[in-house]
């Protein structure tokens, strides 16, 4: 079986995110201003920014850094991020991040970048492995939590700040990871309760 067949169904989300980020990066500063999270613009009805803010970046170095991170996360957790579960995780992460930006980080004027979503994907994959008892899952979750705590107390890691080409809003990592934990929990609960629901609602043919 060739590589494409083996990975069928795993690639669409990561490919879509990659292509979208590259196309938007090619749009330059004009597209960046049109698509970024902008509190005043959203208040004026530019709702698309809720989503597009997480696909557009501050420049090519920022784009390259996040896309490299995206593919590393995909290589680690492709079995958990492929198909509709991956899309669901992305939606939940974006929703949690946007809610955090809007209701908690009221001082945030604008934001761009995929790093929050990457933290969500990693957190979801790590939490799913821990939930299923896969060796190393607990260590991965601890690594995520340790990074988030470091950022909350000391700010962004130097390498992250250097690669982004601008200030790093570390709360995006926190909100994204929380969204990932939430999404993975919901997916696992759905799987856990589905057999019980099916059994309770199956009727036999006896009169």
Mean pLDDT, residues 63-89 taken together: 94
Tell whether 73 is covered by a domain: yes
Tell whether 100 is covered by a domain: yes
pTM summary value: 0.87
Tell whether 202 is covered by a domain: no
> Is the predicted pLDDT of residue 146 greater than 60, yes or no?
yes
Q: For residue 168, give its domain range.
A: 3-192
Q: Tens digits of per-residue pLDDT, 192-206? A: 666 543 444 444 444
Tell whether 206 is covered by a domain: no
- pLDDT for the residue numbered 145: 98
Alpha helices (H) in the chain, listed in sequence order: 3-6, 11-26, 28-35, 39-43, 49-52, 60-81, 83-99, 115-131, 137-154, 158-164, 171-200
Mean pLDDT, residues 128-150 taken together: 95
Is 202 in a helix, a strand, or coil? Answer: coil
Tell whether 18 is covered by a domain: yes
Tell whether 199 is covered by a domain: no
- pLDDT for the residue numbered 160: 73
Per-residue buried b or exposed e for 58-73, using 16+ beta carbons within 10 Å of the residue's own CB:
bbeebbebbbebbeeb
The dihedral through the CA atoms of 72, 73, 76, 78 has a sign that is: negative
Structural domain count of the chain: 1
| DSSP code string of 133-155 | T-TTHHHHHHHHHHHHHHHHHH-
Tell whether 198 is covered by a domain: no
Tell whether 200 is covered by a domain: no
Mean pLDDT, residues 18-29 taken together: 96
Mean pLDDT, residues 105-129 taken together: 97
Q: Using CA atoms, how far apart are residues 156 and 159, in angstroms rounded to an integer? A: 8
CATH classification of the domain holding 116 = 1.20.1540.10
- pLDDT for the residue numbered 201: 41
């Amino acid at each position: 079986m060739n590589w494409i067949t083996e990975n069928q169904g795993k690639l669409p989300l990561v490919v879509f995110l990659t292509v979208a980020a590259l196309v938007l990066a090619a749009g330059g500063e004009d597209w960046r201003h049109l698509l970024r999270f902008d509190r005043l613009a959203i208040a004026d009805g530019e709702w698309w920014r809720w989503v597009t803010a997480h696909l557009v970046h501050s420049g090519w170095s920022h784009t390259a850094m996040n896309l490299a991170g995206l593919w590393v996360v995909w290589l680690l957790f492709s079995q958990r991020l492929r198909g509709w579960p991956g899309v669901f995780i992305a939606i939940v992460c974006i929703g949690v991040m946007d809610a955090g930006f809007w209701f908690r980080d009221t001082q945030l004027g604008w934001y761009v970048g995929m790093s929050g979503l990457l933290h969500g994907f990693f957190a979801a994959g790590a939490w799913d492995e821990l939930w299923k008892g896969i060796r190393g899952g607990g260590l991965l979750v601890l690594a995520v939590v340790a990074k988030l705590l470091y950022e909350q107390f000391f700010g962004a890691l130097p390498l992250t700040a250097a690669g982004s080409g601008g200030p790093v809003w570390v709360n995006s990592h926190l909100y994204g990871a929380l969204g990932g934990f939430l999404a993975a929990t919901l997916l696992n609960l759905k799987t856990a309760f589905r057999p019980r629901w099916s059994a309770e609602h199956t009727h036999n043919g006896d009169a």
